[in-house]
């Protein structure tokens, strides 16, 4: 059976995350229903990862198998007509039959947006923070993430992951407007809730509630209760998922 990667984006505000779950609308379920209706037989897809409730994706990738080759451009066009406005299919590309959207990903990049002032037009997609924030201190703390591999302190409890090890290759805050900052982090993999927990803890550094040394201690303790609260989901975007060239046809 030929296998394809679906490249898509979505506004997560109306969904309880990516992965199918009972009695709640999800992005995966919405796409599978549209594909099943389009193809006239049951279709299931596998995503590159799970985004939590309310989290957005500028680029998500999922793989899907079809019994026979498809016209990728025509399928993209028809699928977009069937999906709601908050989910967009950008392209469908053929890959090797053993290619896997989740396990073959070499890296993932997330962005988290915060606003230091009241912003009517970005309020749905950024986290409003009050008071003075020391972004230099937060960047110093973010830089230390590259020196650790076990991120249990920033992981959702009681998950089914076999390891909490991740290799973070970049983590930095940068200013994108006079009142808006974005935290960009890239790693080979991420744990459930990891980025939001990191942002929540970095904001504790920025507000002067904890020191750089305390931030390091939190990581080394490997206890979720040591870290800060998770930042709100709607300001988080899965920005890009990367794959090795050899899996594409």
In tens digits, the chain (249 residues) has pLDDT values of 999 999 999 999 999 999 999 999 999 999 999 999 999 999 999 999 999 999 999 999 999 999 999 999 999 999 999 999 999 999 999 999 999 999 999 999 999 999 999 989 888 999 999 999 999 999 999 999 999 999 999 998 766 678 999 999 999 999 999 999 999 999 999 999 999 999 999 999 999 999 999 999 999 999 999 999 999 999 999 999 999 999 999
Number of domains into which the chain is organized: 2
In this structure, the answer to whether residues 91 and 123 fall within a common structural domain is: no
Q: Which domain holds residue 96?
A: 3-103
Q: Is residue 247 part of a domain?
A: no
In this structure, the answer to whether residues 79 and 147 fall within a common structural domain is: no
In this structure, the answer to whether residues 85 and 139 fall within a common structural domain is: no
Q: Please identify every residue annotated as catalytic.
A: 52
Q: Is residue 248 part of a domain?
A: no
Task: Specify the pairing of strand 236-242 against strand 56-65.
Answer: parallel
In this structure, the answer to whether residues 229 and 193 fall within a common structural domain is: yes
Q: What is the dihedral of CA 172, 240, 231, 16, to 10 degrees?
A: 180
Model-level pTM?
A: 0.95
Residue 23 maps to which CATH number? 3.30.70.580
In this structure, the answer to whether residues 32 and 155 fall within a common structural domain is: no
Q: Is residue 249 part of a domain?
A: no
Nearest Cα neighbor of 35 from 67, 58, 1 is 67
């Amino acid at each position: 059976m030929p296998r394809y990667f679906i490249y898509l984006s979505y506004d997560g505000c109306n969904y309880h995350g990516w992965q199918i779950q009972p009695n709640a609308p999800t992005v995966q379920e919405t796409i599978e229903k549209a594909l099943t209706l389009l193809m006239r037989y049951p279709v299931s897809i596998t995503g590159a990862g799970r985004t939590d409730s309310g989290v957005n994706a500028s680029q998500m990738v999922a793989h899907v198998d079809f019994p026979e080759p498809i016209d990728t451009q025509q399928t993209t066009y028809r699928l977009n007509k069937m999906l709601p406005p908050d989910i967009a299919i950008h392209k469908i590309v053929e890959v090797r039959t053993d290619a896997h959207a989740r396990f073959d990903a070499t890296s993932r990049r997330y962005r988290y947006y915060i606003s230091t002032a009241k912003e009517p037009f970005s309020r749905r997609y950024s986290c409003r923070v009050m008071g003075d924030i020391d972004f230099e201190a937060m960047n110093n703390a973010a830089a230390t993430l590259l020196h650790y591999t076990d991120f249990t302190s920033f992981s959702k409890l009681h998950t089914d992951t076999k390891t909490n090890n991740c290799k973070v290759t970049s983590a930095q805050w940068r200013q994108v407007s006079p009142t808006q900052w974005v935290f960009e982090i890239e790693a080979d993999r991420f744990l459930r809730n990891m980025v939001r927990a990191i942002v929540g803890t970095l904001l504790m550094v920025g507000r002067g509630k904890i020191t750089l040394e305390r931030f390091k201690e939190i990581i080394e303790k490997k206890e979720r209760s040591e870290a800060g609260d998770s930042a709100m989901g709607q300001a988080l975007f899965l920005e890009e998922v990367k794959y090795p060239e050899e899996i594409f046809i």
